[in-house]
Amino acid sequence: MSLSDNASSIWIYDTTLRDGSQREGVSFSLEDKVKITKRLDEFGIHYIEGGWPGSNPKDEAYFKKVAQLKLNHAKIAAFGSTTRKGTLPQDDPNIQALLAANTPVVTLVGKSWDFHVKHVLETSLEENLKMIRSSVAYIKSLGKEVVYDGEHFYDGYKANPDYALATFLAAQEGGADVLVLCETNGGCLPWEVEAITKAVKSKIDIPLGIHAHNDSGCGVANSLAAVHAGAVHVQGTINGYGERVGNADLCAIIPNLQLKMEASPLPPEKLARLTEISYYVAEVANLPRDRHAPYVGESAFTHKGGIHVAAMLKNAQTYQHVDPELVGNTRRSVVSELSGRGNLVEKSQLMGLDLDSRQSREMLSAIKELEAQGFTFESAEGTVNVMLQRMQSDYSAPFELIDFVVIVEHRQGRGILAEANVKVRIGDRIIHTAAEGNGPVNALDSALRKALVDIYPKLATIRLDDYKVRILDSENGTSAAVRVLIDTKNGAHRWSTVGAGTNIIDASWRAIADSMEYAIINSSNKSCEETVEA
């Protein structure tokens, strides 16, 4: 079924593999493109634009490979431009490359702005209309579904509305299934998009679509405005990847359509995989996930202010616009100097712990005092969990530091070496160990691990994954206070701990010791592990 057969639906057209790959720093391999195609199809995307055949060997290989896949939902589209001026479509190499891709859908892009026709194509306005009409008609005559993208349509309409509309009428006459208004430069505002889309809809007999860029920060808003005006075909990319600042983000568009505008582009059970698909594409693209992305970011439903968390413990709707589970995300609260007792109560409940009012007041006071000294706990939930455990009346620390010594020296012929001596108490035993490392922090980590691993063998499997140092008062130069944040992981599980102070070794020790203590607690406390992973 083509889009024009059911204009009452909203159809999602994903162009991550073409427009998204034009983002600086993104280069999908052939295998990457195939893997993303499979996941987008499983997610329920209607159209997947695979690339521009004829522009590079990778895209040609992709279309050959994707033809062998059995897709359940998506139609694959090949993208390319209308025929060149003075050339019949059957004689145009670009058109023939589109047909050779052997896709059920062909997306043709043509000029809608008279400025581009004159100064880029360097041809007459009438010749451009002929190019559009003949290209669409030729491909349609071969049984393809044709999506026509009117490049720079909104700018073209503002400059010369009669001509911009004439380009769409030419594509409609050629037999296009949908006409897409492209906001190519990303500079229009939502009310402009809505008004122009509505005006065009009154003159056109076939479905309309929207393709927006985000240069003015309005990509998602412009897409929704076009739908509000009657567009039923929406183009965009996962995570908003695209040239310059990016394309309209489908990870915001889809839930807004489904949850806010009473449209149903995807079944509800598919929407619950939105966060998963966002993370997956980011991983394949080798890009960091945007923690603050709407709907799918780790911070999208994270609450820091004490008043907020206190209210949400009574009713989650007080500070959440939707249930995060609808889009596959989770609610979190973080602990900081801005926290109230509600943050700590929620944390302790997630860990299966009881925290009475006295304990919560004492811990909140300690957190505020430590943050004044340079600690930060919102990114160090491992430390928060250890602190909560220590508040329990029956808690016994798995080890206690007696003292440590770290020596860094230069040895002729061997360079800089570091050695750490650590003395800890475990129950009635005092253990004294030493270890070398390629720096003082590595030496400390090795020495502590050596002291503990015989009694707590699980520590042999954990690994320091990241180590960050931030100077807190740079005006004090080398005597400045620092904050140390350590990420540790055990297989797929990861936790963060923090230390701070004017001595970088002591700050590092505190973060390392908390990390080890967390790992030991975690071996017998599954709820603690789940809290940090959440």
- Structure confidence at residue 352 as a pLDDT band (50, 70, 90): low
Question: Does the predicted TM-score (pTM) go above 0.75?
Answer: no
Selected from 3.40.50.12660, 1.10.3720.10, 3.40.50.1220, 3.30.160.270, the CATH number assigned to the domain covering 400-533 reads: 3.30.160.270
Q: Do domains 10-266 and 400-533 have the same CATH topology?
A: no
DSSP state of 247: B
For residue 113, the model assigns a pLDDT of: 92
- Structure confidence at residue 349 as a pLDDT band (50, 70, 90): low
- Structure confidence at residue 91 as a pLDDT band (50, 70, 90): very high
Q: 224 near 259, Cβ under 8 Å?
A: no
Q: What is the pairing mode between strands 463-471 and 429-437?
A: unpaired
Selected from 3.20.20.70, 3.10.450.40, 3.90.1300.10, 3.40.50.720, the CATH number assigned to the domain covering 10-266 reads: 3.20.20.70
- Structure confidence at residue 530 as a pLDDT band (50, 70, 90): very low
- Structure confidence at residue 219 as a pLDDT band (50, 70, 90): very high
| 117 vs 313: which has the higher pLDDT | 117
**What are the residues whose beta carbons fall under 8 Å from the beta carbon of 155, sequence distance 6 or more?**
113, 115, 184, 185, 187, 188
Mean of the per-residue pLDDT values for the chain?
84
For residue 183, the model assigns a pLDDT of: 96
Q: What is the pairing mode between strands 400-411 and 415-426?
A: antiparallel
Helices (H), 315-356: 341-350
Average pLDDT for residues 374-387, to the nearest whole number? 66
Average pLDDT for residues 278-293, to the nearest whole number? 88
Asked if the model's pLDDT at residue 462 lies above 80, the reply is: yes
Asked if the model's pLDDT at residue 486 lies above 70, the reply is: yes
DSSP state of 84: P
Q: Where are the domains of the chain?
A: 10-266, 400-533
Average pLDDT for residues 117-135, to the nearest whole number? 94
pLDDT > 70 fraction of the chain, expressed in percent and rounded: 82
Q: Residue 490, SS3?
A: strand
Average pLDDT for residues 121-140, to the nearest whole number? 95
